[in-house]
Structure 1
Amino acid sequence: MRRSTTATLALLVVTAIWGSTFFIIKDAVNLIDPIDFLAVRFAVGAAIPAAIFWRRLRRLTATQWQIGLALGGLYGLAQIVQTVGLQTTAASVSGFITGTYVVLTPIIMWIAFRARLNARTWAAVGLALVGLAVLSLTGIGGGGVGEALTLVGATLYAVHIVLLDRWSRSMDTMSLAIVQLIGVALTAGFLGLPGGYHVPADPGVWGAIAYTAVVAGIVTMLLQTWAQRHITPTRVALLMTFEPVFASAFAVGFGGEAVTLRLIAGGALILLATLLGIPGGQAGPADDVPLIPAPEGADTPPPPPPVINGDRQEGDSL
């Protein structure tokens, strides 16, 4: 089997794992406070790679630590908002709304840095908005709080991607990924302090913590790092659009959610917007092309720094 084919299959496995986390986390946060869940999950997810790669971390400067922790803190806030929203949002819907960060990223670039947007990007934004309305609105002027929080989380992910592109170019990507994980753990840990941490002995909760920290965190990070070395950024971006599709499939197949016309129509519109937002053409691995459309995007000039998104670690890093 050609290496590029193997890499493509590996990245599909990664997106499937990411998609599976939505219904798993939703079940877990019915039994545990979302912030407590994230604090323990990212403490585990940060401690393991930090223990393995501690020599790399020792070589970082104070400024690099500040950058990594700041990015991790922002990502941690996005995780908290998204996970709280997931308590009252169907996992399938959450997957599609979270995926809108792909089209929100160029909007953030436009607002913050006056980046030029073409007609294709604006069309993608319009489609995404219609898809969000179909998924979220429950009547004229209505809408769910959980869906709104999920959209806020997606916006924070987009801001994180933009800042990652601006701040991380001179930093070792493996170390940056680990420091960001530490930043997420510290953020969730700090916000969880007031009420103390309460982790039930339920094996399902601990299974969700282990799965999201190790399989959806460390394992996918390693798989994606290897895969992105052997396929183009454009193909990577296209494969990543399957995450919300997998999220819905797992939610319906294992989470007991129903397939509704609203889910099909709204999800299809958002998926189409995501595909439209990805720039066409062929890009070589060494090209200075963002990983995702101005993109999931601003994610990265070479080498692409990791973005820990949704339940993913994105980037050519570990």
Structure 2
Amino acid sequence: MRIRTWQADLALLAVTAVWGATFPLVKNATDLAEGGVPTYWFLAVRFLMAAALLGALFRRRLIGRPAATWRAGALLGAFVFAGYAFQTFGLAYTTSAKAAFITGLSVVIVPVLSVVWLRRPPSPGAWLGVGTALAGLALLSLNDDLLPTRGDLLVLMGALGFGLHVAGVSRFAGRHDPTALAVIQLGTAGVMAGALHLWERGTVGPGVEGVLWWGPPAHVAAATVICGLLATAAAFLLQNLLQPYTTATHTALIFAAEPVWGAIFAYLLAGETLEPRGYVGAALIVAGMLLAELPIGRRNQPKPLEAAEQK
């Protein structure tokens, strides 16, 4: 079947809408006061579910992989876990809309990491994007005392984890099978979350039912399935299938819509809104994301990073 560019773009835009919807869903699912579940439990089920599905579909890709692939996947999985753990804990202390835009800063964090880790000097447009996004972050997160909130700082740490993950994918994906790498990192993130959930419950082995128990409220079950199957496993498959049919510029523009979708769903599902200053800051963050990703001042446009599994 021949896929046209507009069809691929539309499907990828739907993927970003699913990613945006996860912010209020996760915030509600992990709110213990509203009948939610512990953060580590939610993350463990989400990632183990996605890893099990992709592992079953691509089990042949895992057989015989060298130790280097497993090490790289484990490192990327640690970055994925850190990103989601900080983001999810931060959602308890900030709004879904603000968290969505702050998470988008991972795009502009990558150029800075590229200098330190990948030894790649960013383009002038990338540096301009970093400055623009930081100005937006200040407007979005600083309160009247010019101090960031606890939740905003935690989500920002999550954005750093996602930035490390994207930079790591750029470093390792060309050397290893990307599908095997994705399954390994998702499994690693799930195991880390499950282990911390057990530790948090003060158990060593007999309390494994604390991780595998499946009797949450309906809203938690729905959020887990949407995040595990749609926002992680299915999103990864769709991006890998469809991204070759579009361009890097289109992909950058489409993925910049994720925090916008996050704000829309935060309003529709939770009635959250931003202050006028916050909307200006959010607009600057999106502008910074576009400046960092679009080929401004680049002689050779790099290939798009395959990082859908972090969403």
Q: Same fold (TM over 0.5)?
A: yes
Matched, 1:220 2:220: no
* Residues 45/148 of structure 1: CA separation in 2 closer, same or farther (3 Å cut): same
**Cα deviations by residue, 1:59-107 (Å, 9 ceiling, x for unpaired):** 3122211211221122111111111111111000000000011111001
Q: Cα distance, 1:280 vs. partner? A: 2.9
| Map 1:121-132 → 2, pairs under 5 A | 121-132=126-137
Q: Cα distance, 1:113 vs. partner? A: 4.7
Aligned to 1:153: 158
Which residue of 302, 306, 310 corresponds with 1:289? 302
Counterpart residue type for residue 302 of structure 2: V
Aligned to 2:268: 253
Aligned to 1:107: 112
Aligned to 1:316: none
Determine the C-alpha separation between the residues in 2 that align with 1:121 and 1:65.
Answer: 32
Aligned to 2:181: 176
Determine the C-alpha separation between the residues in 2 that align with 1:113 and 1:12.
Answer: 29
Which region of structure 1 is more displaced relative to structure 2, 105-114 or 243-252? 105-114
Determine the C-alpha separation between the residues in 1 that align with 2:273 and 2:189.
Answer: 33
Determine the C-alpha separation between the residues in 2 that align with 1:152 and 1:79.
Answer: 10
Matched, 1:275 2:290: yes
Counterpart residue type for residue 46 of structure 2: R
**Cα deviations by residue, 1:244-291 (Å, 9 ceiling, x for unpaired):** 00000000111211243133111111011111112337x9xxx86142
Q: Cα distance, 1:163 vs. partner? A: 2.0
Q: Percent identity?
A: 33
CA contact (8 A) 1:73 1:186 kept: no
Determine the C-alpha separation between the residues in 1 that align with 2:227 and 2:3.
Answer: 30
* Residues 109/258 of structure 1: CA separation in 2 closer, same or farther (3 Å cut): same
* Aligned alpha-carbon RMSD (Å): 2.1
Q: Cα distance, 1:242 vs. partner? A: 0.2
Q: Cα distance, 1:211 vs. partner? A: 0.9
Aligned to 2:207: none
Q: Cα distance, 1:307 vs. partner? A: 4.6
Which residue of 102, 109, 125 corresponds with 1:97? 102
Aligned to 1:13: 14
Give SS of 1:254's match: helix
Unaligned runs of 5+ in 2: 202-209
Give SS of 2:147's match: coil
Aligned to 1:232: 247
Give 1 or 2: higher helix fraction: 2
Q: How many residues align?
A: 295
Which region of structure 1 is more displaced relative to structure 2, 116-125 or 247-256? 116-125
Determine the C-alpha separation between the residues in 2 that align with 1:34 and 1:225.
Answer: 29
Which residue of 47, 59, 62 corresponds with 2:64? 59
CA contact (8 A) 2:114 2:120 kept: yes
Aligned to 2:125: 120
* Residues 185/2 of structure 1: CA separation in 2 closer, same or farther (3 Å cut): closer
Which region of structure 1 is more displaced relative to structure 2, 151-160 or 272-281? 272-281
CA contact (8 A) 1:45 1:213 kept: yes
Q: Cα distance, 1:27 vs. partner? A: 0.5
* Residues 206/280 of structure 1: CA separation in 2 closer, same or farther (3 Å cut): same
Aligned to 1:266: 281
Counterpart residue type for residue 77 of structure 1: A
Determine the C-alpha separation between the residues in 1 that align with 2:169 and 2:79.
Answer: 10
Determine the C-alpha separation between the residues in 2 that align with 1:75 and 1:26.
Answer: 18
Give SS of 1:246's match: helix
* Residues 230/122 of structure 1: CA separation in 2 closer, same or farther (3 Å cut): same
Give SS of 2:294's match: coil
Determine the C-alpha separation between the residues in 1 that align with 2:226 and 2:288.
Answer: 30
